[in-house]
Amino acid sequence: MSAWAAKRFWQAASAEPCDGGFTVRLDARPVKTPAKQPLVLPSLAMAQAVATEWDAQHGLIKPDTMPLTRAANSAIDKVAPQFDGVVGEIANYGTTDLLCYRATDPQPLIDRQAAGWGPLLDWARDALGAPLAVTYGVIPISQPAASLARLRDHVAGHSPFHLAALHDLVAISGSLVLGLAVAHQRLTGDQAFGLSRIDEKWQSELWGEDEDAAALEALRQEAFLTAERFYTLCG
């Protein structure tokens, strides 16, 4: 029976050592990915967290309530087989990093962006060896080739599991620098997400909060924090 059966068939999920790492068993059955690969996880903490997601299922299995399991599946079935392509996709965010594109007005928003984003670009320059240029407006600018190469090297140094988490940190925030800052523990997930939403926060302060937009924002934040947690669980 597939681990992704429609209804719960097991009594208890457990985290156990296995060849190459740790796995989750549903009673005696090891969990497999949707591509039928063994679910081999890099840390006991991750295996325990994934087992908890399986134990929380009652009746019909709801994959959308199992974000850590889905991230692990993605690392095994999608990231590992096309590692270089995923590295390139993530690293490409450095060419148009959110932190490099500033508002042209009003001045309070310009100041808020500078205060929030400037220190992170300083960190990228000093800690990552990757100075990036800043512009005002939305017209694309070129970034130093050496900086982009260094950023790519930082991305490529991740395992497939770390890379799966980094992908979401970068894609949700729109910033390679913010994603790497969370990975390097320069920022918490909450801090990084807040910095990625400076423009949206400004607009809501100016015009008031839209209920639908706020609900979507909450979902983005939840996904971002899940990616941070998954990265940490990789060990």
Domains delineated in the chain: 1-63 (3.30.2180.10), 82-233 (1.10.3580.10)
User: In this predicted model, what pLDDT tens digit does every residue of 98-107 receive, in sequence order?
Assistant: 999 999 999 9
User: In this predicted model, what pLDDT tens digit does every residue of 40-65 receive, in sequence order?
Assistant: 999 999 999 999 999 999 989 999 99
Q: For the residues 179-193, what does the mean pLDDT come to?
A: 98
Residue 6's pLDDT band (boundaries 50, 70, 90)? Answer: low
Q: For the residues 17-26, what does the mean pLDDT come to?
A: 97
Nearest to 199 by CA among 109, 115, 133, 135: 109
> Which tokens hold the place of 16?
């156990």
User: In this predicted model, what pLDDT tens digit does every residue of 218-231 receive, in sequence order?
Assistant: 999 999 999 999 99
- Total-model pTM: 0.94
Would you say residue 3 has pLDDT above 60?
no
Nearest to 71 by CA among 143, 162, 184: 162
Give ∠ CA 41-5-3 in degrees, rounded to 5: 20
Kindly state the percentage of the chain with pLDDT values over 90. 90
For the chain, what is the total number of helices (H) and then of strands (E)?
Answer: 10, 5
